[in-house]
Amino acid sequence: MQETLVQVRGLSKQFKRDNGETFFAVKDVTLEIRRGEIFSLLGPNGAGKTTTISMISGLLTPTQGDALIGGNSITKNPLAAKKMLGVVPQDIALYPTLSARQNLEFFGKMHGLGGKTLNQAVDEVLDLIDLGDREKDKVDNFSGGMKRRVNIGIGMLHKPQLIYMDEPTVGIDPQNRRRILDTVLRLRDELKMTVLYTSHLMEEVQEISDRVGIIDHGQMIALGTVGELIQKVGEEDRLILKVGEQPVAEPLLRRIESEVATATRAQYERREIANGDSGALAAAEGILTVYATRGRRALPDIIRLANETGVDILSVEVREPDLEAVFLHLTGRALRD
Amino acid sequence: MQRILDIALNDLRIIFKDRSIWINLVILPIVISVAVGYANGAGFTGGSVSLRVDVFDADAGAMSAQFLDAMRAGNANLVLCPMDQTAADLCQLGEEALTAELAQTRLEDKVSLATLEIPAGFGAALARGEAVSLIYRSNEDATAPSYILQAVQSAATRLSGAQIAVQVGGQVADSLSFLQFSDDADRVAFLEEIRGRAEEGWAADLITVETVQAALDPAATQTNGGGGFAQSIPGIASMYVMFTVLPAASAFILERKNWTLQRLATLPISRAQILGGKLLARFVMGMIQYAVLFGFGALALGVTFGSQPLTMLPVMIAYTACVTALALALTTFITTDMQAQGITLFMSLTLAPLGGAWWPLEIVPEWMRVIGHISPIAWAMDAYREIIFYGGGIGDVIVPIAVLLAATAALFAIGVARFRFSK
Ligand SMILES: Nc1ncnc2c1ncn2[C@@H]1O[C@H](COP(=O)(O)OP(=O)(O)O)[C@@H](O)[C@H]1O
Ligand SMILES: [Mg+2]
């Protein structure tokens, strides 16, 4: 049994909206992070991920609840708790007019590093984030990806046992994203750090996480290993069939459910695609979704039934069970909405 | 403490990265304090005072002329109008003749500091040994020593002393049998000789007159009416301390937007250390601003800052601390950079003139002087003027320093209680 490093108990945060009414951005969140694991919080924008991280890093005071970090309460003994932490905020938190090295040095000093130790730590991090040759340039002139890397570098400068990374891949090109994900894996595998990772992208969470908490509207709606979560939706594949502008009538859905042996559910959804600038209706896209165990085998039957009712299938996609499906299953909404 | 210094040094580094800081810190304040210094009368009085006295000499005799000479000898800075009028209009009379009405207006407007009336028959009465009175009018504070009145009195003493000598000498001569005057003219000539000798004697003994001149503070002499660079340097410097320190509000907003303030809050340092470091940086900026302008005033303009200039240091510290605390308090009432810049400009441009940074508060009406003291600049200027113009020491500026420190404590308490690290 692994040691528990972070213990979050009944954490809540209430905010005021502009119109004055209050609401819970985070409500009664309880979770544990074990030493040496990558724990991810997965949830759509506005789910409460950043608010949660802010509370357990000492930036925001919880409305209710507390978090113990290595046994130290973040509300009662913040300095001891924060000593164990490295934080990579979602926003790029850098002094734009200072160079990469100056930024690293300043925040290193704030962690109590100095002299040779500081120099060495800064050199190592610059190496790790691959910016050794640009260390003297001011970060204002860096690309988004480079700034993100400096932002991450500051969080791991003092080699904390625990690092929080709040959506570190947001707004980043695929190449830089890959690099960041590899860095996260190295932090766990080579440096034996514990990582709390947040994202609204299920692919990356599914790839790197040991355990995942799914959060929506401020509440934890599921928690477990990727495998455990996927089991919640069963072994069903999800078949996504695009049918364009053709209407799909209810009888076809019922026939698929009854006549295709492995199919359990069929749904039709029609989306209108507005033309970007004018807002005028450009096209409509119909999507037929069928849940079925061993979905590829069910495909020929589904296509045959569609043809019989005069519906042309334009494209087919078979999705094996994933966290997206879990989220859909639990909330009835897609993660990216 | 180390963390506080590190934070302060980092902020100073960021502030000085922007080269344009030198424009606000050095160039503009120097230009403005020189300009305001001239507007307040520097350069016109040129280092010596003209103590203008309007004189109505109804006697217009040798004796009254002697009296005026004695006055001039009593204080070299006296300008007797219209007698001492020059081509450069030292009397500020222009082409006008001096009338009683005009003299009254000049007195009210402080163009002249006093009027003196010498009655007709002044010389004749004196010669007869009779008492005569001169009429001296002034709008000076009755409790303050008057350099002019002293000159008038010393002239009166001198002349009446000489007259007594003449009378006593005449009587003595008449009673001495061996001294025979050939005629009346001979007697008058003899008496005139006594008068001359007596006057010489008085002149040699004019200790009071010497004292008057020695008592004149060189700084006070240089800045008649409280104008010039000795007013503009502390005034404009205090205003510019606001310009340098109040942008702390903008800097806090920007750091919150850049998320660096939030990042600092997640580090193992206390909030007191973070705020302390950031405020220390701004305080240092304010003190640098003071050093720049007072240094320029002393070295380039040759302004002397009273007899105990070091007394200004605690005033500078108290005032800069007060403005720093004001910046923190203001920060907690605004959310955008636009608001920050607006409030900084508004505060500086109202508190500066209100507090006497542009002109001495002595020249504004009483009620404005009272209102002006809501501005910390007014208290600082009270202290600077006490030190610079009246040679005050630390004991004379305790009150303004105490007021500034009390305001600092109050503003700081408000600021700390309301300050938020995140939006
Ligand atoms: N300081 C704040 N004041 C009011 N509402 C806030 C504040 N911070 C976040 N929120 C709201 O709380 C909810 C959760 O936000 P956040 O934690 O940033 O979500 P996430 O990081 O998952 O995208 C959102 O609805 C957001 O608008
Ligand atoms: Mg977020």
Share of chain B above pLDDT 70, in %: 82
Structure tokens at B243: 């310009």
pLDDT at B203: 54
User: Is the separation of the CB atoms in B138 and B149 below 8 Å?
Assistant: yes
What is the model's pTM? 0.71
Please name the residues in contact with B96: beta carbons below 8 A apart, sequence gap of 6 or more.
Answer: B102
Q: Quick check: B39 pLDDT over 50?
A: yes
Please state the rounded mean pLDDT for residues B293-305.
Answer: 88
pLDDT at B69: 83
Residue A38 shares a structural domain with residue A157: yes
Q: Quick check: B219 pLDDT over 60?
A: no
Question: Domain boundary residue among A208, A230, A252?
Answer: A230
pLDDT at B208: 29
- Rounded to whole angstroms, the Cα distance separating B105 from B99 reads 10
B174 Ramachandran zone, left/alpha/beta (phi>0; psi -120 to 50):
alpha
Residue A129 shares a structural domain with residue A262: no
Please state the rounded mean pLDDT for residues A12-29.
Answer: 93
Residue A22 shares a structural domain with residue A138: yes
Please name the residues in contact with B420: beta carbons below 8 A apart, sequence gap of 6 or more.
Answer: B332
Q: Quick check: B217 pLDDT over 50?
A: no
pLDDT at B201: 53
Q: What is the pLDDT of residues B4-37, one digit of tens each?
A: 999 999 999 999 998 888 888 988 888 888 888 8
Please state the rounded mean pLDDT for residues A79-99.
Answer: 95
Q: What is the 8-class DSSP label of residue B24?
A: I
Q: Quick check: B67 pLDDT over 50?
A: yes
pLDDT at B226: 42
pLDDT at B107: 80
CATH number at residue A61: 3.40.50.300
Domain count, chain A: 2
Question: Does the beta-carbon distance from A97 to B263 stay under 8 Å?
Answer: no
User: Is the separation of the CB atoms in A49 and A41 below 8 Å?
Assistant: yes
Please state the rounded mean pLDDT for residues B127-132.
Answer: 75
Q: Give the residue from A15, A50, A57, A59 with the most B CB atoms within 10 Å of its CB, the best one to mutate.
A: A59
Assigned domain for A327 exists: no
pLDDT at B211: 26
Domain range annotation of chain B: 2-42+227-418, 49-203
Residues of B with CB under 8 A from a CB of A: 3, 6-7, 10, 13-14, 17-18, 258-260, 262-270, 421-422
Question: Does the beta-carbon distance from B263 to A54 stay under 8 Å?
Answer: no
Residue A54 shares a structural domain with residue A8: yes
Residues of B in contact with A109 (CB under 8 A): 3, 6
Mean pLDDT of chain B: 82
Q: Does A154 lie at the interface with B, CB-CB under 8 angstroms?
A: yes
Residues of A in contact with B267 (CB under 8 A): 82, 107, 110-111
Q: Quick check: B254 pLDDT over 60?
A: yes
Q: Which residue has the tokens 């010497």?
A: B210
User: Is the separation of the CB atoms in A11 and A66 below 8 Å?
Assistant: yes
Q: What is the 8-class DSSP label of residue B154?
A: H
- Rounded to whole angstroms, the Cα distance separating B181 from B170 reads 11
For Cα atoms B199, B204, B205, give the angle at the middle one, nearest 5 degrees: 95
Q: Residue B135's beta-bridge partner residues? A: B117
Q: Which of A26, A51, A165, A169 to mutate to test the pocket of ligand 1 (most atoms within 8 A of CB)?
A: A51
Residue A226 shares a structural domain with residue A241: no
Q: Quick check: B207 pLDDT over 70?
A: no
Please state the rounded mean pLDDT for residues A124-130.
Answer: 91
pLDDT at A69: 95
Q: Give the residue from B17, B255, B260, B273 with the most A CB atoms within 10 Å of its CB, the best one to mutate.
A: B260
Per-residue confidence at B145, pLDDT binned at 50, 70, 90? Answer: low
Q: What is the CA radius of gyration of chain A?
A: 24
Question: Domain boundary residue among A209, A230, A251?
Answer: A230
Residues of A in contact with B422 (CB under 8 A): 54, 59-60
User: Is the separation of the CB atoms in A61 and A75 below 8 Å?
Assistant: yes
- Rounded to whole angstroms, the Cα distance separating A110 from B260 reads 12
Residue with the larger pLDDT of the pair A309 and B351: B351
Quote the domain boundaries for residue A96.
Answer: 4-230
Looking at residue B221, its amino acid is T
Assigned domain for A330 exists: no
Q: Quick check: B221 pLDDT over 90?
A: no
**Which of A57, A79, A89 has its CB closest to that of B259?**
A89
Residue with the larger pLDDT of the pair B381 and B139: B381
Atom of ligand 1 nearest to the CA of A215: 22
Using CB distances shorter than 6 Å, the residues near ligand 1 are A 15, 25, 43, 45-51; B 423
CA A8 / ligand 1 centre spacing (Å): 19
* Pick from A22-26, B68-72, B353-357, B417-421: least confident: B68-72
Q: How far apart are the first and last CA of chain A?
A: 38
pLDDT at A278: 61
Q: How far is CA A186 from the centre of its chain?
A: 18
For Cα atoms B136, B142, B147, give the angle at the middle one, nearest 5 degrees: 65
Q: What is the pLDDT of residues A171-230, one digit of tens each?
A: 888 888 998 999 999 999 999 999 999 999 988 999 999 999 999 999 999 999 988 888
Complex prediction ipTM: 0.82
Residues of B in contact with A95 (CB under 8 A): 10, 14, 258, 260
**Which of B3, B13, B266 has its CB closest to that of A82?**
B266
pLDDT at B42: 62
Assigned domain for A165 exists: yes
* Helix segments in B176-206, DSSP class H: 184-204
- Rounded to whole angstroms, the Cα distance separating B82 from B185 reads 35
B96-B99-B103-B104 Cα dihedral, nearest 10 degrees: -130
Q: How far is B262 from chain A (nearest CA, A)?
A: 6
Per-residue confidence at A90, pLDDT binned at 50, 70, 90? Answer: very high
Residue with the larger pLDDT of the pair A121 and B24: A121
CATH number at residue A264: 3.30.70
Residues of A in contact with B269 (CB under 8 A): 79, 110
Phi first, then psi: what are they for B396, rounded to 5°? -85, -15
pLDDT at B81: 87
Per-residue confidence at B47, pLDDT binned at 50, 70, 90? Answer: very low
What is the fold, at CATH topology level, of the domain defined by B49-203?
abc type-2 transporter like fold (3.40.1710)
Please state the rounded mean pLDDT for residues B397-415.
Answer: 96
Residue A130 shares a structural domain with residue A68: yes
Atom of ligand 1 nearest to the CA of A43: 22
Please state the rounded mean pLDDT for residues B367-395.
Answer: 90
pLDDT at B118: 86
Residue with the larger pLDDT of the pair B63 and A16: A16
Q: What is the pLDDT of residues A259-270, one digit of tens each?
A: 888 888 888 888
Question: Does the beta-carbon distance from B262 to A59 stay under 8 Å?
Answer: yes
Q: Does A89 lie at the interface with B, CB-CB under 8 angstroms?
A: yes
Residues in chain A: 337
Q: Quick check: A290 pLDDT over 80?
A: yes
User: Is the separation of the CB atoms in B390 and B396 below 8 Å?
Assistant: yes
Atom of ligand 1 nearest to the CA of A45: 23
**Which of A59, A95, A112 has its CB closest to that of B266?**
A59
Atom of ligand 1 nearest to the CA of A49: 22
- Rounded to whole angstroms, the Cα distance separating B245 from B279 reads 9
Residue A162 shares a structural domain with residue A177: yes
For Cα atoms A177, A182, A183, give the angle at the middle one, nearest 5 degrees: 95
Question: Does the beta-carbon distance from B13 to A102 stay under 8 Å?
Answer: yes
pLDDT at A276: 58
Mean pLDDT of chain A: 89
Q: Which H or E element spans position A195?
A: strand A194-199
User: Is the separation of the CB atoms in A309 and A252 below 8 Å?
Assistant: yes
Residue A108 shares a structural domain with residue A211: yes
Residues of B in contact with A111 (CB under 8 A): 267-268
Structure tokens at B73: 């000898």
B284-B286-B287-B293 Cα dihedral, nearest 10 degrees: 140
pLDDT at A56: 96
Residue with the larger pLDDT of the pair B270 and B422: B270
Burial class (CB in 10 A: 0-12, 13-18, 19+), B325: buried
Q: What is the pLDDT of residues A319-335, one digit of tens each?
A: 888 888 888 888 888 77
Structure tokens at A251: 């009888």
Please name the residues in contact with B237: beta carbons below 8 A apart, sequence gap of 6 or more.
Answer: B29, B33, B289, B290, B292, B293, B294
Instruction: Count H helices and E strands in chain B, helices first.
Output: 19, 4
pLDDT at A246: 80
Residue with the larger pLDDT of the pair B355 and A282: B355
Closest alpha carbon to A84 in B1, B267, B271, B274 = B267
Q: Quick check: A66 pLDDT over 90?
A: yes
Residue A131 shares a structural domain with residue A28: yes
Per-residue confidence at B212, pLDDT binned at 50, 70, 90? Answer: very low
pLDDT at A148: 92
Q: Which ligand does the CA of A44 lie closest to?
A: 1
Residue of A nearest to B265 (CA): A59
CA A213 / ligand 1 centre spacing (Å): 18
pLDDT at B247: 94
Angle between helices B312-331 and B248-257 (to 10 degrees): 40
Q: Give the residue from B10, B335, B423 with the most A CB atoms within 10 Å of its CB, the best one to mutate.
A: B10
Residue B228 neighbours by CB distance under 10 Å: 26
Q: Give the residue from B3, B4, B266, B335 with the most A CB atoms within 10 Å of its CB, the best one to mutate.
A: B266
Q: Which residue has the tokens 């061996």?
A: B178
Please state the rounded mean pLDDT for residues B264-272.
Answer: 94
pLDDT at B140: 61
Bridging pattern class, strands A237-244 and A219-225 = unpaired
Angle between helices B312-331 and B229-245 (to 10 degrees): 30
Residues in chain B: 423
Per-residue confidence at A249, pLDDT binned at 50, 70, 90? Answer: confident
CA B328 / ligand 2 centre spacing (Å): 29
Per-residue confidence at B222, pLDDT binned at 50, 70, 90? Answer: very low
Residue A226 shares a structural domain with residue A263: no
Angle between helices A100-110 and A115-128 (to 10 degrees): 130
pLDDT at B210: 28
Please name the residues in contact with A291: beta carbons below 8 A apart, sequence gap of 6 or more.
Answer: A236, A237, A238, A239, A263, A264, A265, A266
Per-residue confidence at A284, pLDDT binned at 50, 70, 90? Answer: confident
Burial class (CB in 10 A: 0-12, 13-18, 19+), B116: buried
Residue of B nearest to A89 (CA): B263
Please state the rounded mean pLDDT for residues B90-114.
Answer: 81
pLDDT at B249: 94
* Pick from A59-73, A190-204, A298-312, B7-21: least confident: A298-312
Q: Which residue has the tokens 């009712």?
A: A309
- Rounded to whole angstroms, the Cα distance separating B266 from B262 reads 7
Q: Which H or E element spans position B117?
A: strand B114-118
Q: Quick check: B206 pLDDT over 80?
A: no
Q: Residue A265's beta-bridge partner residues? A: A291
Q: Quick check: B44 pLDDT over 80?
A: no
pLDDT at A294: 81
Residue A36 shares a structural domain with residue A144: yes
